[in-house]
Structure 1
């Protein structure tokens, strides 16, 4: 079954009561945003360098719980020419982390009529567990093409040989889980890796650019066709980052550089009118960025039925 032929106009194949995929067309390129579920995490993760009272005030203004809230997990399937590109691979399954509402990607791809064997390329924005975990679930590799190409920054591969967590602020258990997932991924897929230094075009109109910051090899994907543009920003953007782009996220390995990257990308998005999708913005996370004084505003795109 052709993956992109089923991106629109189909009823869900499961009994889920919430939408889990959303289709966007960028010129001649089809993009399907797919939810891998949600991660419940402490709200301190959204700005561990911020004053606690300021963080609480922001959470109250956003009608969010004060102690913990759900982070969306979004991936994307892109069809450009003869290629089907999966951007990130979701969380997968880690029995030590009790995250039952995440790791839904394979089920939801199947519900959209997308066969894993149709994926020609995978782009990894970085190698955190919630971006590579779906590839290391038992039985998944055997369902993928033997000639699958996995694109990731060379710097990212190097970093995970001896990762530094000294500047992160993660919940207990996450550093060990991240190390283990990255190691297992690198071992299982080493022969499929296509590394790049600064940028690479993985399909017509699909350009991957290394930004660094969140991790040394963190990258964004820029999709351009027919005068239309969309950026998949990975973990460069978080909901709080529009109002407080200088707040540090607990998963950032170089939080000061991550803040500089975030501000630069937000300015580019605001100046160019490029659409934005990001891993942890509320599903489907399709929107644009506006400038408000010294900060920014995320403007969600109205759903197109």
Structure 2
């Protein structure tokens, strides 16, 4: 999965008019960000504790529509040592209401990544837009039998009897989330490698539980040759830079999620590491700067 091979993967004939993959290096670690597509989301979900006029002003400043906007959905493939690690798996294709997401299988092929080469899957959490891709037969059947699936033990335990009392989601969503997580655990339970606090999946690749968004929500930290990168999953949304105290409707513990978000952004601003996240605009690669009592998204210059 060298950058040379990745750069020539267009020979497979799967290229699209808009880029859907982006390669970068973290020291000796190769990273490929892949877009699983976009999801429509009601804008009120982005800030359930904000005044209506404050949210409207932020949306206007960001040139986003007032009622429903597109939510990017990013996953990553990480190569370190002899391990090839899929970080989250997108939505899958079993949700007809979201026809522009669930592109992972096609885009892995387009990137020249053989699903059978994936040795490990790291899951930030078990929401359907992070695990659905692993339930698609076209991808699931191509994965190796000894695949290891890493997630926080607290995450698997939570979905046995999930509590949605602090979330603010459209009515049908909690039930779909519950059913999808339950099915995933049934299918992959024998391949799960749960951890308590953190676990080093490969040299320089550590998954660390943060909680907040879900009880077992985790981030992935990469470090090699003095370079750092954090895949924040759903700990950081687009609103999180300007308004880190805004609650997302999918946060299972909104107050804790805000504390986690503020802490991670503060850390990144201090150490200069790169940030990737599931729902930042593709390819999501950025740095973080302090801006008064909040933060500033500083896009990484594309290297091509």
TM-score normalised by length of structure 1: 0.97
Q: Distance in 2 between matches of 1:175 and 1:93?
A: 18
SS in 2 for 1:184: helix
The corresponding residue for 1:155 is: 154
1:252-299, CA deviations, whole angstroms, 9 ceiling, x for partnerless residues? 000010000000001001000010000000000000000011000010
Instruction: Tell whether 2:85 aligns with 1:112.
Output: no
Between the two proteins, the alignment pairs up a number of residues equal to 303
1:203-238, CA deviations, whole angstroms, 9 ceiling, x for partnerless residues? 000001100000000000000000000000000000
Q: Distance in 2 between matches of 1:289 and 1:9?
A: 31
- The answer to whether the 8 Å contact 1:3/1:113 transfers is no
Residue segments in structure 1 that go unaligned for 5+ positions in a row:
none
CA 1:194–1:260 in structure 2 vs 1: closer, same or farther (change >3 Å)? Answer: same
SS in 1 for 2:131: helix
Q: Superposition pairs for residues 268-283 of structure 1, below 5 Å?
A: 268-283=267-282
Deviation at 1:16, TM superposition (A): 1.8
Residue segments in structure 2 that go unaligned for 5+ positions in a row:
none
- The answer to whether the 8 Å contact 1:3/1:114 transfers is no
Instruction: Tell whether 2:249 aligns with 1:233.
Output: no
The corresponding residue for 1:35 is: 35
CA 1:193–1:4 in structure 2 vs 1: closer, same or farther (change >3 Å)? Answer: farther
- The answer to whether the 8 Å contact 2:105/2:138 transfers is no
Deviation at 1:14, TM superposition (A): 2.1
TM-score normalised by length of structure 2: 0.97
Instruction: Tell whether 2:69 aligns with 1:69.
Output: yes
1:183-209, CA deviations, whole angstroms, 9 ceiling, x for partnerless residues? 000000001000000000000000011
The CA RMSD measured in Å over matched residues stands at 1.2
Deviation at 1:3, TM superposition (A): 7.4
- Deviating 4+ runs (over 4 angstroms): 2-5
Instruction: Tell whether 2:107 aligns with 1:85.
Output: no
- The answer to whether the 8 Å contact 2:40/2:70 transfers is yes
